[in-house]
Amino acid sequence: MSQTAFETTAYSRRRARMSQAFSVLCLAATSLGVLVLILLIWEILWQGLPWLNARLLTSFPSMYPEKAGIAAALVSSLWLITLTALFSVPIGVGAAVYLEEYAQASRWRSLVQLNIANLAGVPSIVYGILGLGLFVRALALQRSILAGSLTLTLVVLPIVILAAQESLRAVPNSIRQASFALGATRWQTVWHQVLPAATPGIMTGVILAISRAMGEAAPLVAMGAAATFITFIPLSPIDEFSALPVQIYDWASRPQPEYHHVAAAAIVVLLTVLILLNATAVYVRYRYGKRIRW
């Protein structure tokens, strides 16, 4: 009876087949996702590219699809993300610094932490209704860019806080200890050591959150703030505004097929801006992450 341990048996062959089948299954899942994405983008480009021209970028909405453009919507969206960044970065990073560096472990902190995580999952339309009640009505900001960006700040704040906390947590404790041991106060430690080390991560999180804000239509629609027929370039934060996703939503829901082409062209613009933002995030992470290796 000299049987070596390395001969294949029915059992081992079945296991090998199972393993193979599973890898095929995973490949299929991946391909399906990529395929759908390619189809989507191809469809958009096919519909939108012929309509993508300088006129689209410089014109205002119009009754005639061939004259309609996204000038107001694009500028409004840039206003929105700029102000949203200005509001959400200091508040979000400040909250993260408090929670990570100052707050002692307590039931209260866990409660706050849990709620921030939950808020990140709240549908954005809910924030729109909050924005309508709070900013548009109670604070009488009307349907201004300010009201819109404050609402978007609410949407992205939990994301910014969580991302910033993650980056702060990634700073090794030994750096804090070294700083404290040299007689630095908590503030000096946070300002001179922890924040600089966490900045690439925080920036990445902020840019991704801003991309999300740029793509949000629901809260702006819900607060009734973003108009779809603006024929001027908004010049100050208290002006009325539109927004790219809202404009796209409006055009896409019209019966005339020409408008669908305008919408597709606007989507191409929106996607381009988003890809640029994401590329910046990747670059920041790569460029500054490289310098710091613990």
Contact residues for another protein, defined by CB under 8 A:
104-105, 172, 174-185, 188, 192-193, 196-197, 291-294
Position 113: which residue type?
Q
Nearer to another protein, 97 or 230 (CB): 97
Q: Which of 280, 268, 259 is nearest to 211 (CA)?
A: 280
In the bound state with another protein, the residue whose beta carbon lies nearer, of 92 and 200, is: 200
Beta bridge partners of 240: 144
Of 90 and 172, the one with the shorter C-beta distance to another protein is 172
Least Å distance, CB 188 to another protein, is 5
Residue 25 CA to residue 32 CA, distance in Å, equals 11
Number of other residues whose CB lies within 10 A of the CB of residue 294: 8
Distance between CA atoms of residues 108 and 15, nearest Å: 51
> What is the 8-class DSSP label of residue 49?
G
Nearest distance, CB of residue 185 and another protein, angstroms: 6
CB of 161 to another protein, least distance (A): 21
| Residue 198 to residue 165: CA distance in whole angstroms | 9
Shortest Å distance, C-beta 287 to another protein = 14
Tokens standing for residue 253: 């829901």
Minimum Å distance from CB 204 to another protein? 17
Minimum Å distance from CB 174 to another protein?
Answer: 4
In the complex with another protein, which residue's Cβ is closer, 109 or 252? 109
Kindly tell me which of 33 and 196 has the beta carbon lying closer to another protein: 196
Helix locations, the chain, DSSP H? 10-48, 54-58, 71-97, 107-120, 124-131, 145-170, 173-181, 186-188, 195-215, 218-222, 244-252, 257-289
**Residues 244 and 73 sit within 8 Å (Cβ to Cβ):** yes
Closer residue to another protein (CB): 5 or 182:
182
Q: Which is nearer to another protein, 190 or 244 (CB)?
A: 190
> Minimum distance between the CB of residue 201 and another protein, rounded to whole angstroms?
13
Q: State how far the alpha carbon of 61 is from the alpha carbons of 69, 111, 270, in Å.
A: 5, 47, 16
The CB density around residue 231, as the number of other CB atoms within 10 Å, is 12
